[in-house]
Structure 1
């Protein structure tokens, strides 16, 4: 149950102009458009007063509505090109709802290509979003110490950080990266500070197996293999 007067909005950005993977946001992933996984997880979490998709594409809009999301407006041309960032999309959506007289306490920006997302991840991360926390971002631990990086200069392999290269892995600090799934924030704080990291977000740790960054067809095929593997592990043995 949500606290009294708390209203949450799910925003799923889904631009239509993907070049490296044509129609990436609605490409079939094990039998259904990949955006459907994000919509269904948001709806199943029972956290949101509204689940909406921000898109500039009528086909994406129709598919999003088929799976239960709302598409109250078509994204502006300004926020539909390659240079538009996620924050720009979130600002546009939040300002639209404010103009309509609809005010939300928090929003969750959910990526449209996040087939590993689970309703439990949304529920558990939302529990971190309390009065003392204005944002939550899922993260994944690097599986190799980034301090021990190498560089290639003029085709020659060089050590990047000599002070850390010889240290044991356990003596180096843990480092994390964005899990590529979703982002929670208090709406008022986000609009005021114009971004997530100024809000001193809490980290919600996820297993590195559920990280996805789908930019190329090779990425897509790799994610399909991981998805199959994870789902085989879920099946009970006979």
Structure 2
């Protein structure tokens, strides 16, 4: 089965300036995800998509196989994720002259994943032939059935989701997860024909909260730096 790893990293960043090339443990942030993909031994090709020459240069330095220049319309704050992955796949297939059965997209801003997470999520997906795609997530701290609320049009709060029976303990509520933006896996045809991440048959691979921080602020970066140092490295 042919597999490609896509890593899509935009140059602009509001929360952390130049975060995809900010140094973490002495390497640009994006380098850790590239090295994880390489060390997993799972991919025929690793493709990095970016609108930033600096990010693409770093990706080249750390061993990405294909560099994809992202067009401006896919590099705005409003640009959705799926068209970016679709564009990256299309360009990678043109450059290699081959088609990929499984696309594994990994976010550079979620570097605390383990190589085992990559391997086990791919295994789960490929051993589930009816699944359309796979996402990763961690058990949620808040439950829409117990302590996650919404404000209605009259300004009053109520639970986001209600059950027929009243939940008095969070442990009795249905299990819920926070998406952690770490790993997304797609079958080629599903990806190319999709406009949303959630499909009829979307699998979830569970990761611990400690491995699920997605860097969106300077504080997130500090947390990731602390945990990565404590662990003794990332890749």
TM (normalized to structure 1)? Answer: 0.84
Q: CA deviation at 1:142?
A: 0.8
Q: CA deviation at 1:217?
A: 0.9
Q: CA deviation at 1:161?
A: 2.5
Out of 103, 107, 115, which is 2:103 matched to? 107
SS of 2:91's partner is helix
CA distance in 2, matches of 1:73, 1:170: 46
1:143 paired with 2:150, answer no
Q: CA deviation at 1:70?
A: 2.8
1:224 paired with 2:219, answer no
CA distance in 2, matches of 1:66, 1:97: 18
Higher relative contact order (CA 8 A, sep 6+): 2
Q: 2:191: which partner in 1?
A: 190
* Residue pair 1:193, 1:199 contacting (<8 A) in 2 also: no
CA distance in 2, matches of 1:199, 1:35: 32
RMSD of Structure 2 on Structure 1 (CA): 2.4
Q: CA deviation at 1:129?
A: 1.8
Residues 97/160 of structure 1: CA separation in 2 closer, same or farther (3 Å cut)? same
SS of 2:68's partner is coil
After the TM superposition, list the runs of 4 or more consecutive aligned residues in structure 1 that deviate by more than 6 angstroms. Answer: 162-166
Q: Structure 1: where are the runs of 5+ without partners? A: 1-5, 233-238
Q: 1:236: which partner in 2?
A: none
Q: 1:177: which partner in 2?
A: 178
SS of 1:182's partner is strand
SS of 1:96's partner is helix
* Residue pair 1:61, 1:71 contacting (<8 A) in 2 also: no
Between 1:164-173 and 1:31-40, the stretch displaced more is 164-173
1:121 paired with 2:114, answer no
1:97 paired with 2:92, answer yes
* Pairs aligned (count): 224
Q: 1:38: which partner in 2?
A: 33
SS of 2:48's partner is strand
Q: Structure 2: where are the runs of 5+ without partners? A: none
TM (normalized to structure 2)? Answer: 0.85
1:29 paired with 2:24, answer yes
* Residue pair 1:34, 1:113 contacting (<8 A) in 2 also: yes
